[in-house]
Amino acid sequence: MHLYRGCACGLIIAAVMSGCGSEEKGHQAAAPPPEVMISQVVSRDVIDFGEFTGRMDAAETVDIRARVSGYLDEIHFTDGQEVRQGDLLFQIDPRPFQAALKNADGQKALWKARLAQATADVQRYEKLVPTGAATQQDLDKAVANAGEATAAIQSADATIDQAKLNLEFSTIKAPISGQISRALITTGNLIRADTDELTTIVSLDPIYVYFNVNERAMLQFRERAKASVPPTASQPDVRTLKIPVYIGLDNEEGYPHQGIINFADNKVDPSTGTISVRGTFDNSQRIFKPGLFARVRVPLSEPFKALLVTDRAVATDQNQSFVYVVDDKNIAQYRAVKLGRLEDDGLRVITSGLRPGDWVIVTGIQRARPGKPVTPQRVEMPRPGAKVEAPPAATAPAKDSAPQGAAHQ
């Protein structure tokens, strides 16, 4: 009797336990699909850019040296100031050059007097020789003296010109407009002509940016150049193409400054496979200085339609990039994609694998499985740094409502 009662209790307990397990399994099987957030791919015009690094350089650079030797009397500028072409910079003691000029003037005057005397002798002897009052030798000597005086006057003129130049060179002026460096010599020192560097001047406006372009970008430039002229025309010069170039400084976002490419070297460096290119930029605001580092961007194509997504929508599977596209039945579909460049707003260009109107998972991609249903909520395509928030509950899709992954065609 007791044994019977024990068996009956065991059966009841087993039945209860079995019922609980079935209810738990049923509860698990009825779990809703994972919630994800989806965004429609962005379709817009983009441009293929090449990005390089460059250095700024002055359009003109002059090392200031004296053309004459002498002692420095005065310095007429402040270290680092901007100067204009023709401004006085240094004054070498002019007195020795003034004295040399006076001496040259005196020598010319002397020879002019001798020429006058010799000319008078020639005129007189030409009358006396026929009468026998003077010999032919006297006449020849007078003619020779006149020729010597004439030559000496020409030499004196050259000496005067040189003395004037030396006196002018004792005053050193700015040959270009720009910013001057510090004075490398102080007053009272002897300056040696064409040897001692006194200072340097660099022009500021415009400013040049030099950067090296790889072969791929160079060939794309060439293709753009060919497309801009008739097939029978010759290759246009880089200056006539007016290719825009954009730069940004180290402390700036993006590439806010625009210029024009005005030079490309005549050969490719075989050791690096690059060609030197130069852009010119307005520097009237004095933003740039020679030697600064610059990030350079050059358009390599005309605008073209492209599809873009946020990088958070892209995952990688054994070196294969992919996204999950949610179809009109709310099923997550695996889609292999090829990635293009990253745009300024943080969206990634997708060169293949997506179609206009596709909806991709941007949040919850780790919960999605290919071929499995999801519960999507639509959001705007997020940008980097932006917080993705689900729409209000009132706008969220109902469980049995129309599919949320459907694209609007």
Give the number of other CB atoms < 10 A from CB of residue 196: 16
Look at residue 67 in the predicted model and tell me its pLDDT: 94
Task: Assess whether 318 and 294 both reside in one domain.
Answer: no
Give the number of other CB atoms < 10 A from CB of residue 218: 18
Task: Assess whether 255 and 315 both reside in one domain.
Answer: no
Q: For the chain, how many residues are written?
A: 409
Task: Assess whether 163 and 139 both reside in one domain.
Answer: yes
Among 260, 278, 299, which residue terminates a domain? 299
Query: In sequence order, what are the residues at sequence separation of 6 or more whose Cβ sits closer than 8 angstroms to the Cβ of residue 320?
Result: 336
Q: What is the count of structural domains for the chain? A: 3
Task: Assess whether 209 and 292 both reside in one domain.
Answer: yes
Task: Assess whether 99 and 147 both reside in one domain.
Answer: yes
- Nearest in space to 257 (alpha carbons), one of 236, 230, 288, 232: 288
Is 222 a member of any domain? yes
Can you say whether the dihedral through the CA atoms of 66, 68, 74, 76 is positive or negative?
A: negative
Task: Assess whether 214 and 289 both reside in one domain.
Answer: yes
Is 16 a member of any domain? no
- Nearest in space to 391 (alpha carbons), one of 402, 404, 400: 404
Is 73 a member of any domain? no
Supply φ then ψ for residue 326, to 5 degrees.
Answer: -95, 120
Task: Assess whether 332 and 374 both reside in one domain.
Answer: yes
Whether the Cβ atoms of residue 44 and residue 306 lie closer than 8 Å to each other? yes
| Residue 238 three-state SS | helix
Look at residue 9 in the predicted model and tell me its pLDDT: 45
Measured between alpha carbons, how far is residue 231 from residues 103, 222, 224, 225 in Å? 70, 13, 12, 11
- Nearest in space to 362 (alpha carbons), one of 309, 306, 402, 308: 309
Report how far residue 60's alpha carbon sits from residue 204's, in angstroms, rounded to the nearest whole number: 8
Task: Assess whether 267 and 350 both reside in one domain.
Answer: no
Report how far residue 376's alpha carbon sits from residue 401's, in angstroms, rounded to the nearest whole number: 12
Is 177 a member of any domain? no
Is 185 a member of any domain? no
Look at residue 228 in the predicted model and tell me its pLDDT: 63
Supply φ then ψ for residue 55, to 5 degrees.
Answer: -130, 140
Query: In sequence order, what are the residues at sequence separation of 6 or more whose Cβ sits closer than 8 angstroms to the Cβ of residue 297?
Result: 49, 50, 51, 52, 245, 246, 247, 248, 255
Q: Which two tokens stand for residue 285?
A: 């605001």
User: pLDDT by residue for the chain (409 residues), tens digit each?
Assistant: 444 444 444 444 444 445 445 444 545 555 789 999 999 999 999 988 888 999 999 999 999 999 999 999 999 999 999 999 999 999 999 999 999 999 999 999 999 999 999 999 889 888 888 888 888 898 889 899 999 999 999 999 999 999 999 999 999 999 999 999 999 999 999 999 999 999 999 999 999 999 999 888 888 777 776 666 666 556 667 787 788 999 999 998 889 999 999 998 888 888 888 999 999 999 999 999 999 999 999 988 888 899 999 999 999 988 899 999 999 999 999 999 999 888 888 899 999 999 999 999 999 999 999 999 999 999 999 887 656 555 554 334 433 333 333 333 2
Report how far residue 247's alpha carbon sits from residue 154's, in angstroms, rounded to the nearest whole number: 59
Report how far residue 255's alpha carbon sits from residue 295's, in angstroms, rounded to the nearest whole number: 8
Can you say whether the dihedral through the CA atoms of 289, 291, 292, 298 is positive or negative?
A: positive
Angle at 314 between CA 310 and CA 317, to 5 degrees: 170
Report how far residue 199's alpha carbon sits from residue 178's, in angstroms, rounded to the nearest whole number: 13
Report how far residue 125's alpha carbon sits from residue 399's, in angstroms, rounded to the nearest whole number: 134
* CATH number, domain containing residue 157: 1.10.287.470
Among 274, 299, 324, which residue terminates a domain? 299
Task: Assess whether 102 and 128 both reside in one domain.
Answer: yes
Is 292 a member of any domain? yes
Is 193 a member of any domain? no
Whether the Cβ atoms of residue 92 and residue 170 lie closer than 8 Å to each other? yes
Can you say whether the dihedral through the CA atoms of 47, 52, 57, 60 is positive or negative?
A: negative
* CATH number, domain containing residue 350: 2.40.420.20
Look at residue 287 in the predicted model and tell me its pLDDT: 93
Task: Assess whether 291 and 314 both reside in one domain.
Answer: no
> Could you tell me the residue range of the domain that residue 224 belongs to?
50-59+204-299
Task: Assess whether 314 and 275 both reside in one domain.
Answer: no
Task: Assess whether 389 and 341 both reside in one domain.
Answer: yes
Among 299, 320, 335, which residue terminates a domain? 299
Is 67 a member of any domain? no
